[in-house]
Amino acid sequence: MPAPSTDDQIAHALLRIPGVRAVLLGGSRATGVADAASDTDLYALRSGPPAPEGVRAGVLAPFADGGTVTHDDTWGVEDRLHHDGRLVEVMHFDLAEFRVDEAFDPGLDPNGYTTAFLHTLARGVPLADPYGDLTRRRARLATYPEATAHRILGGTRTELAGYLEQLRKAQKRRDWASVVHRRAAFQTAWFDALFALNRAYHPGEKRLLDHADGLGTRVADQRTRWEAATLLQGDDAGVLPLLTTLAEDLFGLVDADRR
């Protein structure tokens, strides 16, 4: 049999950390869009509180260049190391944080990246799953949670219209920081709705237009229009009309879906 890959070796080592029940490969390598600069994203999925830093570092140090493992808790519990010069990020999550059952009933509250955690579970590559935790959740996520789609799409028109009105007012008062913020909020909600409309889990912020190109139901010329919308200066008179037409075209698709 071939020797286990480095990913597999690290994954099975992570199972020695108390509470870790499964390990998943995520990020661009899991979705097939990695390039030469891509790092490795591993998810150590646990039950209960995370193990202390020293315990985690002791498990990971044999794989790290120079035995160096660093920790960053800015966005959650995360360990970082370099293996043969390439960055490996190990993110530690409690399985309960993925809220799989809640996604189906009553549905997740929309937040712009509503199903991104579910995308990690559903589209990642299982590396170690001795207790079947990943297998059970991935089997359920083979069907997109309709309750979550209903909650996202049900608020699309009101939310996007509100952002457009706030953007209009911000431009009028020359509040450019607010213009940037409202345009970003509009963009986030727009794509959240587009993926929900397609019953596709949200892939996160990276390579968003590439992922959106692969959807079956799309707004006409969405890539070209979004590239233009993001490159326009905040004081450009064309920003609001361009975003308005993007919203209106999306509303038409959402309305057709909900009939």
The band of 37, judged by pLDDT with boundaries at 50, 70 and 90, is: low
Instruction: Name the pairing type of β-strands 125-128 and 86-94.
Output: unpaired
Residue 244 covered by a domain = yes
Task: Say if residue 14 is in the same domain as residue 138.
Answer: yes
pLDDT, the chain, mean: 94
- Count: domains in the chain: 2
Residues 139, 84 share a domain: yes
Residues 220 and 138 in one domain: no
CA distance 200 to 129: 24
Residues 107-127 have a mean pLDDT of 96
The reply to whether 68 and 126 lie within a common domain is: yes
Cis ω on the peptide bond leading into residue 106 (within 30° of 0)?
yes
The pTM assigned to this predicted structure is: 0.91
* Structural domain containing residue 58: 6-104+113-143
Q: How many residues does the chain have?
A: 259
Identify whether residues 233 and 168 lie together within a single domain. Answer: yes
* Phi, psi of 229, deg, nearest 5: -65, -35
Residues 190 and 125 in one domain: no
Q: Is residue 150 part of a domain?
A: no
We report the CATH number of the domain holding residue 36 as 3.30.460.10
Query: Does residue 148 lie within any of the structural domains?
Result: no
- Average pLDDT (8-12) is 95
Confidence (pLDDT) at 33: 59
Average pLDDT score over residue span 72-78: 92
- Residue 213, classed as helix, strand or coil, is helix
One domain, residues 13 and 128: yes
Whether residue 135 is predicted with pLDDT greater than 50 in this model: the reply is yes
Establish if 149 belongs to a structural domain.
no
Tell whether the model's pLDDT for residue 36 goes beyond 90: no
Do 91 and 14 have their domain in common? yes
Helices marked H in 71-219: 100-104, 116-123, 133-140, 146-154, 156-172, 176-197, 208-213
